[in-house]
A and B are shown apart, each in its own frame.
Chain A
Amino acid sequence: MSVSITVGAYGVAFGAAAVANGFTVLQSCLLSLLTFSGASQFAVIGVIGAGGSALSGIATASLLGVRNALYGVIMAPRLQVKGLKRVIAAQVTIDESTGVALGQEPRGVDAMRKGFWYTGIGVFVFWNLFTLAGALGAQAMGDIRAFGLDSAVPAAFLGLVWPRLTGNFERVLAVGCAIFAIAMTPVLPAGLPIIATAFIAIAVGLKR
């Protein structure tokens, strides 16, 4: 239940942010239906909204989507599904469904499957309904700055990254990447300062 309410809030924020960044209501809803991965969706609308190219938007979103592939690796041997069911399982392989499934691990593989499917499909339904609500709401607003939507978007990103800043190393990386992106914004084409920070993360991860 608390997962659903949180997802609903993120969904409204995404729908509103997508429209605020120039996407139509239909495109916002398609992103939630087809991409269905919060961080990737926020990333693509953020990069495009900042004036980046389609390619840099897609690349940033895809780098954030790599973790879903890793979740798939964890879930596949437990789910044992083929054909259409595997396609559906792949689509609902996200932070929440994998997280809940792993939380059920002590209770056995059946409980894990149940947790995965209920969470994945529940979040899918909520996420899409609330995206539509947020997108329609933002469309009705007109000047989004008068409603603070221009600040709600970076605040949503901040809310996404905050729980990941578990130690000093993570915090230094976060602040460093923020400063780097700001410093490079007037110099590099829009979108590239953001993607470039992924390479900082890769370099730091390889060294450590």
Chain B
Amino acid sequence: MTIFWIATIGTSLMAFLLKYSGHSVPERWLTHPKIQKINALIPIALLSALVAVQSFSEKSQLMIDQRLVGICAAITALLLKAPFPVVVLSAAVSSAAVYNWF
């Protein structure tokens, strides 16, 4: 079994177990204010780390390439309050332009 299959099945199993446990455990277990606070912070930490790693590295090596232009375009779009499809498209188009023409 490849790493991709293990990741696909393992992630799916865990995702469902987490969802189902919420519907099944007593309410007081998960409504503690600290847990709520941490739960709001975890996605910020993980997603920010993912943005950085996916933009500036390749296989454990730091790298600056066309993705820098793409991510700057995405930040500009977000600052201009563009909707999600525009954000992703502006990153893709600008990055592809740099890759193909330089």
Which residues of A are in contact with B by a Cβ distance under 8 Å? 6, 9-10, 13, 22-24, 27, 30-31, 34-37, 39-44, 46-51, 53-55, 57-58, 60-73, 75-77, 79, 86-87, 89-91, 93, 145-162, 164-165, 170, 173-175, 177-182, 185-186, 189-190, 193-195, 197-198, 200-202, 204-206, 208
Are A159 and B87 closer than 8 Å at their CB atoms?
A: yes
Which residues of B are in contact with A by a Cβ distance under 8 Å? 3-8, 10-12, 14-16, 18-25, 27, 29-31, 34-57, 59-62, 66-67, 69-71, 73-75, 78, 83-85, 87-97, 99-100
Distance in angstroms between the alpha carbons of A27 and B41 in the assembled complex: 29
Shortest Cβ gap from A8 to chain B (Å): 9
Interface of B is mostly: helix
Contacts of A70 in B (CB 8 A): 22, 30-31, 35-36, 39
Task: Beyond the given A31-B12, A70-B31, please list 10 additional residue pairs across the A-B interface where CB-CB is below 8 A.
Answer: A65-B14, A65-B18, A150-B66, A151-B74, A155-B74, A156-B84, A158-B87, A161-B48, A164-B43, A170-B41
Distance in angstroms between the alpha carbons of A165 and B22 in the assembled complex: 26
Are A60 and B46 closer than 8 Å at their CB atoms?
A: yes
Q: In this complex, which of B19, B30, B78, B89 has the most chain A Cβ atoms within 10 angstroms of its Cβ?
A: B19
Contacts of B96 in A (CB 8 A): 145-148, 151
Shortest Cβ gap from A141 to chain B (Å): 11
Partner of B70, one of A35, A90, A155: A155
Contact A9 B11, CB 8 Å, known A50-B57, A181-B53:
no
User: Can you report 24 A-B residue pairs in the complex whose CB atoms are below 8 A from each other?
Assistant: A30-B8, A31-B8, A34-B15, A46-B53, A53-B3, A71-B22, A73-B31, A87-B20, A90-B20, A148-B94, A148-B99, A151-B94, A154-B91, A156-B84, A159-B87, A160-B47, A174-B45, A175-B48, A178-B48, A179-B52, A182-B57, A194-B46, A195-B46, A202-B42
Are B51 and A158 closer than 8 Å at their CB atoms?
A: yes
Contact A173 B18, CB 8 Å, known A30-B12, A148-B99, A185-B60:
no
Distance in angstroms between the alpha carbons of A194 and B21 in the assembled complex: 25
Contact A61 B14, CB 8 Å, known A158-B87, A185-B57, A186-B60:
yes
Partner of B7, one of A58, A64, A76: A58
Contacts of B56 in A (CB 8 A): 182
Are A90 and B23 closer than 8 Å at their CB atoms?
A: yes
Shortest Cβ gap from B96 to chain A (Å): 3
Shortest Cβ gap from B47 to chain A (Å): 4
Are B62 and A186 closer than 8 Å at their CB atoms?
A: yes
Residue of A nearest to B67 (CB): A151
